Structure 1
Amino acid sequence: MDKVASRTSTDPEKHVDSSSVGSDQPIVNSELERTVWRKLDIWVLPVVTIFYLLSFLDRTNIGNAKVAGLLKDLKMTNQQYSIALTVTYVPYILAELPSNLLLKIVGPNLMLPAMLTLWGVVTTCQGTVKTYGGLLACRFFLGLLEGGVFPGLVLYLSFFYPRLRLQTRIAAFFSAASISGAFGGIMAYGIINLNGKHGHSGWQWIFIIEGAITVLFGLVSFFLLPSSPDTARFFNAEEKAYVKATLKADGAVGDESSDSFSWGEVGKAFTSIHVLLVGVVFFFSGVVLYSLAYFTPSIVVSLGYTAARAQLMSVPPFAVAFVLTMITAYISDRYQCRGAVTVFASVLCTVGFAMFLGSKNHHVQYGSLFLSIPGTYLMAPAISTWNANNAAPHVRRATAIAIGFIMTNSGGILATWLLGSLSPAPRYTKATKILLIFSVLMGLFATLNIVYLQSENKKKAAKRTTTPRAEEAAGLGDKSAWFVYSL
């Protein structure tokens, strides 16, 4: 596979200012190289990780609440539960593109903490509802406020890290989703013991306590997030210059004119073949991801465990998912093999769902979760990074990232019905068959994208051979030849 050439990584249609070549070229400095990324990993990455952990926890803890008595207390049917989940995703999807386009204009240091704080308030309010209608209202506003979080965080990290370092960091914060699956199960196990305290049921305390934690961290995060390398207080002037030069040489950022807003760049994202191919993978992945995120406690209950025990038994597969996500992210960054990791993830999901479908042994079915859950959770950072790596300048990248997550959450809508009212427990036969087919299709479309990108990179290599060395040094000639797609 071709590795991404950091020195010549500019966008195929991006206008490269030849005067920038040289002055913006980072001087290789091993000491700075170690220092700047370590500082970002210490000051920015943990905050982003907690953001996503709280986002995923507050969106999916309704699965724990369901097992703890939500449906009984609000007199809800399985169909109404699926509707409540669907209501979350409609505003969620609508918010993703506008949110990503506004992120740089408003400032991520203001927009992201404000979203976090407000959805924490909504989550807390969810714990006080007395009617099904009240739950629907809360789920709507939760989706509206959370919609821009995942695409916004991916875009935000691309402001700080070059392409070759991005997946490990995206995997680090996305692993918070698998941590939230484990952490949420442990918390729910403890919290439901508060059942009846101060007039609230155990499922209400899940929302109240976890929402309050989100509000508190949201307020603190206003003082933690820098908007860009320029405003990072932990960098000195030399380190800021080094990061900016590295990002510009890598093609992760451009100059002010190329990174300014353009509807044309929005349109190019929607017509890029590789964005569309990965978008299909995002959709199938979203169906699988949210099916498992929302229904793992219910699946474990269907295997014969009590509601309280199911909260704990859902923890180990998510813990394995965390470890495997980080290992594959390191491999993907080291060898630049986003597509290969995606295919590997689809194989894990395929085998996992085949085991669940083909066996009636509850131990085998529970064991299948150790394949399907890690498979879908390690895929998300791989395709997210793949998508972000291959789109620039800023507006096109922001749009491409938003498209990916619009597709993911469109898949989430289908997921809310698959294991809800369309495929009843305990076997979930119809749902498992569909998830098995989608797992195979994820690998197929990922393979198609690899083949397409390899073909495009060969065309670019041919163009580079016809460019005089002087023009290459100046960044002139056919600029599309300088952008090597990440495979």
Structure 2
Amino acid sequence: MPASLRSEKVHSSNEKSSVDVVANIPGDENAPIHPIDPKVLRRATLKIDFYLIPIVGMFYLLSFLDRTNIGNARVAGLTTSLHMSSKQFSIALTITYIPYILMQLPMNLIMKRLGANVTLPVMVILWGVVCACQGAVHSYHGLLVCRFLLGALEGGLFTGITLLLSSFYKRHAMQLRFAMMFSVTSLAGAFSGLLAYGIRNLDGQHGIAGWQWIFIVEGAFTVAFGLATLFFVPASPQSIKFLTEEEREVYCRELVLDWSGDGDTDGTYQEVFSWSEVASAVTDAPHVLVLFFPFFSAGATIYGLAYFIPTIVNALGHSPYYSQLLTVPPYACSFVFSIVSAYFCDKYKNRGVMATVCALIAAAGYAIFLGSDNEKTNYGALYLQIIGSYAASPCLSTWNSNNVQPHYRRATAIAIGSTGANLGGLMSTWLFTDPPRFKTATRINLAFSLGTAASSVGILIYFRVRNAEKRREVQRLLQMHGDGTGAGGWDSPVERKRLGDRHPRFEFTT
């Protein structure tokens, strides 16, 4: 049986045997077929899940916490102590984004050379130091310096983690893992509120104000965690020491068969860096640019909520410390919803439908908040805003990374998407200017949520059209050139990995 046909039978859900057959990659007709117990694959996956996800999840939780805890510090007296106006507070938020955005693509490209096992922990340690230093500033300008450095050092983390996960997981197993990592932002919001509430007891201790303790305590913990993980982050699936040789071989081969990972997983093709491949993510991947708008919209809503939710709740008439506690339940609900929605997205191999649903949930929350003056109704509307906004991002991020190959092209696409999200976040820092109702920000975020829903539908249709075109192209090539699995053929391993998502056999995730 030709290898291209054998690959269709991998992991059939109707198999009752405990042993599946791993198909050979096209071009490997003479290679032996490797019998694989599916339990080995599941065991390897679980080992990676329990090892990798908690580490990167904590990295991102600390990143989000250390970047957004300035919102809690504001309620705890930051702006009063430093004699800052609302405009100056927005400037302090804005200046974080400039280096954050600029560092994303360079760090993604550097990570391939230095390895995630070095790049990510060092970034965590350095920004933790800067976060703690915010607790020592005594002037507005000192705060600006710290915020700039914080943005520069955190800049490559989100894109680096996304790239790392896309290298470790199959395309349609990634969103659940990504959601586990990303949904810790919901926990970060909840944890930040609880921590800020608890730190009130430290206010005045050793002559240090409560808002300063927020930065010092959280920054010190970040440094400690970064140091603890310095030697534990794996660089690639092949380098994981806790997998057996059989588990490693099975897992890496699965990545190749799924058009996942980093192209050189089985050693048949070693990708070499080139600027033309980086540029191709813009010039030859229209779906990357089309996804830019929903990323921008999602960033505007997520970061707006992250920075201003304590202020919004406070404006509803609650005390500063009680406001911190009231931010916890919506984030907790968001965490659960993100995980559940991600599970179904992976199960049905679809991203666009859930991205649309999440955007509409957020839009409903903004519409209710805008149309009601009742404080309890407004607080309930925040649940919908947070749940919808935070659950949409894993859909968009995995949608983007699922549909771009090989490595450098994917690294660039991830950086472009994250740049869009952070540009939206930058804009959000200037929207919440009319308390207590914040109608300007609510109207804009409502428009963005509806725009995200509409654009997600359009992108889903685009991918389905492109997949139909690819299937027709495959039929044409089969008729004209045969199966093309031999060396130099159109469907050879080298061509698959060299072309990535441009190969006719590659089907886009819808």
TM-score when normalising by structure 2: 0.89
Q: Which residue of 2 aligns with 1:454?
A: 464
Q: Does 1:290 align with 2:298?
A: no
CA deviation after TM superposition for structure 1 residue 343, in Å: 0.2
Residue 366 of structure 2 aligns with an amino acid whose one-letter code is: F
Structure 2 residue corresponding to 1:239, chosen from 247, 263, 269: 247
Residue 145 of structure 2 aligns with an amino acid whose one-letter code is: A
Q: Does 1:187 align with 2:195?
A: yes
Number of aligned residue pairs: give it. Answer: 473
Q: Measure, in 2, the Cα distance between the counterparts of 1:125 and 1:432.
A: 34
Structure 1 residue corresponding to 2:205, chosen from 197, 222, 227: 197
Q: Which residue of 2 aligns with 1:315?
A: 328
Q: Which residue of 2 aligns with 1:40?
A: 48
CA deviation after TM superposition for structure 1 residue 28, in Å: 4.3
**Contact 2:27–2:485 (CA<8 Å) still a contact in 1?**
no
Structure 2 stretches lacking a partner, 5+ long? 9-24, 497-502
User: What does residue range 206-221 of structure 1 map to in structure 2 within 5 Å?
Assistant: 206-221=214-229
Q: Does 1:481 align with 2:494?
A: no
User: What does residue range 364-403 of structure 1 map to in structure 2 within 5 Å?
Assistant: 364-403=377-416
**Contact 2:26–2:485 (CA<8 Å) still a contact in 1?**
no
Q: Does 1:132 align with 2:140?
A: yes
Q: Which residue of 2 aligns with 1:431?
A: 441
Q: Which residue of 2 aligns with 1:81?
A: 89
Q: Measure, in 2, the Cα distance between the counterparts of 1:173 and 1:306.
A: 32
**Pairwise CA RMSD of aligned residues?**
2.0
CA deviation after TM superposition for structure 1 residue 132, in Å: 0.4
Structure 1 residue corresponding to 2:348, chosen from 305, 320, 335: 335
Q: Which residue of 2 aligns with 1:13?
A: none
Residue 364 of structure 2 aligns with an amino acid whose one-letter code is: V
Q: Does 1:346 align with 2:359?
A: yes
Q: Which residue of 2 aligns with 1:415?
A: 428
**Contact 1:53–1:176 (CA<8 Å) still a contact in 2?**
yes
Q: Which residue of 1 aligns with 2:110?
A: 102
Residue 314 of structure 1 aligns with an amino acid whose one-letter code is: T
**Contact 2:159–2:418 (CA<8 Å) still a contact in 1?**
yes
Structure 1 residue corresponding to 2:271, chosen from 230, 234, 259: 259
SS state of the match for residue 471, structure 1? coil
Q: Which residue of 2 aligns with 1:227?
A: 235
Q: C-alpha deviations, 1:153-181, integer Å up to 9, x for none?
A: 01011221111110000000001101100
**Contact 1:52–1:149 (CA<8 Å) still a contact in 2?**
yes
CA deviation after TM superposition for structure 1 residue 6, in Å: 12
Please say which structure displays the higher CA radius of gyration: 2
Q: C-alpha deviations, 1:101-148, integer Å up to 9, x for none?
A: 111101100110000000000000001110001100000000000011
Q: Which residue of 2 aligns with 1:444?
A: 454
Alpha-carbon distance change, 23 to 353 in structure 1, aligned in 2, over 3 angstroms: farther
Residue 387 of structure 2 aligns with an amino acid whose one-letter code is: P
Q: Which residue of 2 aligns with 1:11?
A: none
Alpha-carbon distance change, 258 to 358 in structure 1, aligned in 2, over 3 angstroms: farther
Q: Measure, in 2, the Cα distance between the counterparts of 1:6 and 1:394.
A: 26
Q: Which residue of 2 aligns with 1:12?
A: none
SS state of the match for residue 153, structure 1? helix
Structure 1 stretches lacking a partner, 5+ long? 9-16
Q: C-alpha deviations, 1:421-452, integer Å up to 9, x for none?
A: xx311010111111110111001111111111
Q: Measure, in 2, the Cα distance between the counterparts of 1:158 and 1:374.
A: 24
Q: Measure, in 1, the Cα distance between the counterparts of 2:210 and 2:169.
A: 42
**Contact 1:6–1:249 (CA<8 Å) still a contact in 2?**
no
Q: Which residue of 1 aligns with 2:316?
A: 303
**Contact 2:292–2:420 (CA<8 Å) still a contact in 1?**
yes
Which structure exhibits the higher relative contact order, with contacts defined as CA atoms closer than 8 Å and separated by 6 or more residues?
A: 1
Alpha-carbon distance change, 403 to 344 in structure 1, aligned in 2, over 3 angstroms: same
Q: Measure, in 2, the Cα distance between the counterparts of 1:6 and 1:69.
A: 65
Q: Which residue of 2 aligns with 1:269?
A: 281
Q: Measure, in 1, the Cα distance between the counterparts of 2:323 and 2:33.
A: 55
**Contact 1:74–1:131 (CA<8 Å) still a contact in 2?**
yes
**Contact 2:313–2:326 (CA<8 Å) still a contact in 1?**
yes
* Range 250-259 or range 348-357, more displaced: 250-259
* Range 279-288 or range 20-29, more displaced: 20-29
**Contact 2:36–2:250 (CA<8 Å) still a contact in 1?**
no
CA deviation after TM superposition for structure 1 residue 230, in Å: 2.0
**Contact 1:26–1:245 (CA<8 Å) still a contact in 2?**
no
TM-score when normalising by structure 1: 0.94
CA deviation after TM superposition for structure 1 residue 27, in Å: 4.8
Q: Which residue of 1 aligns with 2:22?
A: none
Q: Does 1:471 align with 2:483?
A: yes
SS state of the match for residue 331, structure 2? helix
**Contact 1:24–1:249 (CA<8 Å) still a contact in 2?**
no
Alpha-carbon distance change, 116 to 378 in structure 1, aligned in 2, over 3 angstroms: same
Alpha-carbon distance change, 21 to 314 in structure 1, aligned in 2, over 3 angstroms: farther
Kindly, what percent of the aligned residue pairs are identical? Answer: 45
Q: Does 1:166 align with 2:161?
A: no
Q: Measure, in 2, the Cα distance between the counterparts of 1:114 and 1:351.
A: 41
SS state of the match for residue 419, structure 2? helix
Alpha-carbon distance change, 220 to 23 in structure 1, aligned in 2, over 3 angstroms: farther
